[in-house]
């Protein structure tokens, strides 16, 4: 069971920017319905066994930015999930303690509360389950659970913070997971020009961008996967680009033909700030991303049925880029400093 935490009172601090059937926006009623389906939620989803508290989120923020969580004391969670880089790192491959780097790109944490399971292959059931993967990963932060708890236990500030968050000074793995997950769930997209447009400001985006929105939901079929307020349905798709041994979700389901080379559909929020693109950072620009989808990718049994040649014109590609540019907030997404109240869904 989940509970929802209301964000209504925070609109003045940081305004908030379903899987949809493909449909034409030619009819006014349909156009209105499509726009409404992208409106930002007024609440953040928190699990009932890890409810929100300001003290817990504050502890999570301390942990998130502290290089104490890595063996060398130089790498923090924020190394790969930098707020100024839209909670990514701007690299084709994440780099932690091992200078050779990791095989995949660091995903953004924007709207992570709305996108479980997590990981490019979906191996993490929720945010709590992600926590010690990077911390104990040899190429990432390379610190054992016992060493981390010992380090935190000798830091008086952490004893106080754990006591404020949980009622006593005990430092345990479940509490570390709960605190970091609570903080990360507060990382949501900021208001973008697109958000202002769908809530009534007709001048918030350009005419090309409006045409691009229709293409996004129509001819280009982008919304078959990049749907909803976070512009992802959380699915895993082979878009016909991955090759070699990195087979994505297929690693977890080796007998599934459809999940071979399937990777998680990422959010498009702040997309212009988050190059390079794809799970492996192999595509440098949005223009190249559009061209990749236009061609349809490698034709193979695992390829998503939504992926096939689009035959977009040069003008349509340009309009689609104009629309994607409207999804970037005026300033990088930041966590809410406080989340007041909560209610059951």
- The answer to whether the beta carbons of residues 61 and 176 sit under 8 Å apart is no
Side-chain-side CA neighbours of residue 51 (13 Å) = 13
Range 10-15 contact pairs with CB under 8 angstroms and sequence separation of 24 or more: 10/336, 10/338, 10/339, 10/340, 13/336, 13/337, 14/188, 14/190, 14/191, 14/334, 14/336, 15/190, 15/191, 15/195
What is the rounded distance in angstroms from the CA atom of residue 159 to the CA atom of residue 147? 16
Annotated binding-site ranges: 77, 80-81, 222, 225-226
- Cβ atoms of 302 and 260 within 8 Å: the answer is yes
Give the CA distances from residue 12 to residues 33, 45, 188, 190, in Å, rounded to whole numbers and listed in that order.
26, 20, 15, 12
Q: Which residues define the annotated binding site for heme c?
A: 77, 80-81, 222, 225-226
């Amino acid at each position: 069971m989940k509970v929802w935490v209301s964000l209504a009172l925070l609109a003045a601090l940081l305004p908030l920017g379903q899987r949809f059937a493909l449909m034409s926006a030619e009819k006014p009623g349909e156009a209105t319905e499509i726009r409404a389906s992208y409106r930002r939620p007024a609440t953040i989803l928190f699990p009932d066994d890890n409810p929100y508290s300001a003290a817990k989120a504050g502890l999570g923020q301390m942990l998130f930015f502290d290089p104490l969580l890595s063996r060398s004391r130089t790498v923090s969670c924020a190394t790969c999930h930098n707020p100024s880089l839209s909670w990514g790192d701007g690299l084709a491959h994440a780099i932690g303690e091992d200078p050779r780097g990791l095989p995949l790109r660091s995903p953004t944490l924007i709207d992570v509360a709305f996108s479980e399971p997590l990981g490019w292959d979906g191996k993490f059931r929720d945010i709590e389950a992600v926590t010690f993967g990077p911390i104990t990963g040899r190429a990432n932060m390379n610190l054992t659970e016992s060493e981390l708890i010992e380090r935190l236990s000798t830091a008086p500030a952490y004893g106080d913070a754990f006591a404020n968050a949980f009622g006593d000074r005990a430092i345990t793995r479940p509490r570390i997971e709960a605190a970091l997950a609570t903080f990360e769930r507060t990382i949501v997209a900021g208001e973008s020009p697109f958000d202002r447009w769908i809530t009534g400001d007709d001048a918030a985006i350009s005419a090309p961008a409006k045409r691009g929105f229709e293409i996004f939901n129509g001819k280009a079929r982008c919304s078959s996967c990049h749907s909803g307020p976070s512009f992802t349905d959380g699915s895993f798709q082979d878009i016909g680009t991955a090759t070699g041994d990195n087979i994505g979700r297929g690693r977890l389901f080796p007998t599934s033909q459809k999940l071979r080379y399937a990777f998680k559909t990422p959010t498009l929020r702040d997309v212009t700030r988050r190059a390079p693109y794809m799970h492996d950072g192999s595509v440098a620009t949005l223009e190249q991303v559009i061209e990749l989808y236009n061609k349809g990718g490698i034709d193979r049994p695992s390829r998503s049925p939504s992926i096939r040649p689009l035959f977009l014109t040069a003008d349509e590609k340009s309009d689609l880029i104009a629309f994607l540019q409207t999804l970037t907030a005026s300033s990088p997404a930041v966590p809410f400093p406080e989340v007041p109240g909560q209610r059951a869904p």
